[in-house]
Each structure stands twice: as C-alpha cells, then as structure tokens.
Amino acid sequence: MSKVRVATVWLDGCSGCHMSFLDQDERLIELAGLVEVVHSPIVDPKEFPENVDVAIVEGAVSSEEDLHKIRVIRERSKILVSLGDCAVTSNVPAMRNPFKVADILKRAYGEMADHNAGTGPSEVVPPLLKRARPLHEVVHVDVFVPGCPPSADAIYYVLSELLAGRTPTPAELTRFGA
Amino acid sequence: MTVNVLTLTIDDQQVSAREGQTIMQVATENGIFIPRLCHIEGLDPVGACRLCLCEVKGTPKLLPACTTKVSEGMEVSTSTERLGEYRKMILELLFAERNHVCAVCVSNGHCDLQSMAQKVGMDHVTVPYRYPKLQVDATHERFIADHNRCILCTRCVRVCDQIEGAHTWDVMGRGEGSRVITDLNQPWGDSETCTKCGKCVHVCPTGALTEKGRSVAEMAKQRRFLPYLTKMREEW
Ligand code: SF4
Ligand code: SF4
Ligand code: SF4
Ligand code: FES
C-alpha cells in the first residue's frame, strides 16, 4: 500500500500546534509507517508539492503571502485540516483586527521602538492583510480541530480517523481555547 | 394548598410535573439536559439567549424551555436535528458579535459559552466576525467588566436586582449597540449603589465580569450560593 502524502504548514501561528503534533511521541513511529511527510516547516523545499492527500494547516491567514500559500495548498490537497484556534477562529492574530493596519505598524515600529523608530517594513516582509482571517473564510476546509493548541491525543485521533478513511469529529477531545 | 400534578412527555420519556413548573425545570429533574446560557437556577428566567428552544407538538413556533410552563399532555422534543442546527447558529452569532479569544481569556476552561459550543458541536463560525471596538471597565476596586466578552444574558442585571437588591446593572441601547451598564452608564468604580458583593461576577457565564488579579484561565466562578439565597428569599 502506498503511503498517504501528508503536508503540515505553519501560517500565522506560534508553532504551538506543530509542537503538539510532535507531542504524539511514540505514536509518531506508528504514523511514520503509514504516511509520508511531503512538506513541513522543517523540510527544505519552499514550494508546496502537488498531489497531497492531507494538508494540516496551523495559523491564521494574516499576510498576502499566507493568502497565496493557502490557495495553493487548497488546490493541491485532497483534505484540508484547519489545526488549532488560529486557523479555526484566527484567535490571537485577530486581536489586531479592530484596528487599522497602519495604526498597528505605527504602534509597533514607531511608538514602541527604543531605537530607529519607523513606520514598519516596506520591502521583503509580506504586507499584512486588513484582517487576520480563519482559513475557512478564504478556502474550503474539510476538518476543524479547535484548541490552542489541540492536544496530541486530539491530533492523533484526527489523523487515525483520516487514515482509516473516516471523517473525524474531534469535538469531545478539544474545544476553543483547550 | 394542593398542587396539581401534570403528566407530559419530554423526548419520548413520560414525566410528571407540578403545575407552574417550566419545561427546563421538569427536564432537569428528570436528567434531561437542555442547552442554556441566559438561564441559571435561582434567577427569574427571561428567555433571552434562545439556546433552550424546544419543539412542542401542535405548536409551529419553537418555545424557550426556561420560560415555558408545562401543561397536561404536552409533547416536548429538546434535541432534534433542527434544534441542534439553530443552537450552533446562535453560538456562532454570539462568538462573531464581540471579541472572544479563549486562549488568552481569564475564563478559559471555566466559561459557559465556551463549554456550550463544545457541547453542541459548534467548531467554527460561518458568519463574518465583527471585531467591534469595546471598552474594558477596570475602575472598580475589586472587579473588571470586559464588554468584549459579554453576551447580554442579563444574569448580572437579574442577580443584582433580585438577590442583592442593589440594581446596579441594567441594559442600555438596542441591537448591536446594546451594553450592560452600571448605574446611569457611569464607571463601575464610581457606582453609589454597588455593594461590592461580587454576585454579578460569579453568575456571569463568561469572562465579561471577573475579579481583578486573575490571569489566563484563573477565573473559576462560584455558583453554589445561588440556590441557598433563593431559598432564603422564598422563605422570608
Ligand atoms: S468569555 Fe468564554 S468564549 Fe469568550 S473568550 Fe473567554 S473563555 Fe472564550
Ligand atoms: S458587586 Fe453586587 S452590588 Fe455590585 S454590581 Fe455586582 S451584584 Fe450588584
Ligand atoms: S456581563 Fe456577564 S452576566 Fe452580564 S450580561 Fe454580560 S455576559 Fe451576561
Ligand atoms: S436559557 Fe432559555 S432562552 Fe436562554
């Protein structure tokens, strides 16, 4: 049996959801026999691969780069899992949403700066979107896994169900803020 | 005084009830849980959140279990698929209306709104979030009112009025402009009526009313006092 092609992606999150993924501990060995990790924050290629079976995405869509990435991910993946509160609700990244982007940059790079006060980056760094947004506001999402972060048990349950060809319903194992 | 005993069915279960009881009370007595947010045992029900809506045979309208009195032969359904969908929708609207960030909320893990979302399986919000700019009133020496987390259930208004007898809280405005206010929309810390009893804080279902000095997930509420105070009120 060919292995299931799994990709994990880190958008505007703190990497905590990925840490929780790693917290599956010895169960990772079992998973390693069943899946091939074709993309993750610790692989070299920057380009998201084609023909992904399961894409697991942490973080909100906060910049133009995030938006571009999530569209590519959706196009190239059969199942898209929204992992963690930042992906599901936009969570902490959305705390800036009641404010204007220009005001936030002024605050962070000007008012709060001890040295070299400025107005924020104008090149290289991708521009922020007007609002940080949950994944499902911009692309279709197949599975929602709330939690900040979702526990290793919740993640393992979701993966096992997907590998068994079922649609996971992790409501009993996790919730907003869990 | 004689009390009339009524017979009815809730979710196909035959139950008996005393005349004057609500569907919510009878369901609870019989171990049937109906989702609720504005209702809390001990305060007069107001039917504000609509989470407890039930189907009653012979009535096209959905009826709130917390305010609807039982009647002889009533056939109540509390958990149909349709009701489940409405409950999810109500919770989505509550989360979208203000700013809820459970992960960094003082009430994380102790919040009725959060646990109700988990209970009814609301795992994402399909309506656009509104991100209103709202005030946090930290003028009171002991408590904080964070309007970002308020769901306008009016539990605070009712406990302060019906139990404490101070009526510090009330509701101002309409629709999306509605706010709970202290006195005549003055800072809580300046309130001349507040006795600092803390009852409002402890009945508040969310992180909207909290004690000062609590950090993330530290604000567990004490609710055990309510039935006792209500009993005392009845027996006086
Ligand atoms: S009040 Fe409840 S639902 Fe709102 S952010 Fe706090 S824990 Fe979450
Ligand atoms: S502390 Fe007591 S008196 Fe003051 S507003 Fe709350 S319930 Fe009312
Ligand atoms: S402050 Fe709390 S108790 Fe009062 S209306 Fe808002 S959510 Fe309900
Ligand atoms: S609990 Fe009945 S309407 Fe809120």
Would you state the pLDDT for residue A153? 98
Would you state the pLDDT for residue A109? 92
Cβ-Cβ pairs closer than 8 A, A with B, add up to 68
Which two structure tokens, joined as six digits, stand for A144? Answer: 């929602």
The alpha-carbon gap from B20 to the nearest alpha carbon of chain A, in Å, equals 36
Task: Count Cα atoms within 13 angstroms, Cβ side, for A120.
Answer: 12
Nearest alpha carbon, ligand 2 atom 2: B197
In CATH terms, the fold of domain A4-97+128-172 is Rossmann fold (3.40.50)
Which residues, other chains included, contact A141 with Cβ-Cβ below 8 Å and sequence gap of 6+?
A80, A81, A82, A135, B124
- Cβ count near B211 (within 10 Å): 16
The answer to whether B39 and B27 have CB atoms below 8 angstroms apart is no
The verdict on a CB contact (< 8 Å) between B123 and A171 is yes
Read off the pLDDT of residues B29-77 as tens digits, 9 standing for 90 and up: 999 999 999 999 889 999 999 999 999 999 999 999 999 999 999 999 9
CATH architecture of B85-224: 2-Layer Sandwich (3.30)
For chain B, the domains span: 5-79, 85-224
Q: Flag residues of chain A having pLDDT under 50.
A: none
Q: Is the pTM of this model over 0.80?
A: yes
The answer to whether the peptide bond before residue A149 is cis (omega within 30 degrees of 0) is yes
Would you state the pLDDT for residue B236? 59
CA dist., res. A146 & res. A168, Å (int): 13
Which residues, other chains included, contact A75 with Cβ-Cβ below 8 Å and sequence gap of 6+?
none
The verdict on a CB contact (< 8 Å) between B117 and A175 is yes
Which two structure tokens, joined as six digits, stand for B25? Answer: 């009370």
The verdict on a CB contact (< 8 Å) between B124 and A146 is yes
Q: Is the CB of B39 under 6 A from ligand 4?
A: yes
Nearest to A136 by CA among A95, A82, A68: A82
- Cβ count near A11 (within 10 Å): 22
A173: closest chain B residue by CA: B118
The verdict on a CB contact (< 8 Å) between A94 and B129 is yes
Q: Ligand 2 center to residue B115 CA distance, Å?
A: 25
Residues of A in contact with B129 (CB under 8 A): 90, 94, 97
Read off the pLDDT of residues A81-90 as tens digits, 9 standing for 90 and up: 999 999 999 9
Would you state the pLDDT for residue B1? 64
For chain A, the domains span: 4-97+128-172
CA dist., res. A176 & res. A90, Å (int): 11
Q: Is B179 exposed, middle or buried (0-12, 13-18, 19+ CB in 10 A)?
A: middle
In CATH terms, the fold of domain B5-79 is Ubiquitin-like (UB roll) (3.10.20)
Nearest to A16 by CA among A72, A93, A80, A106: A93
The alpha-carbon gap from A174 to the nearest alpha carbon of chain B, in Å, equals 8
CA dist., res. A163 & res. A105, Å (int): 43
Would you state the pLDDT for residue B30? 98
Q: Flag residues of chain B having pLDDT under 50.
A: none
Read off the pLDDT of residues B105-117 as tens digits, 9 standing for 90 and up: 999 999 999 999 9
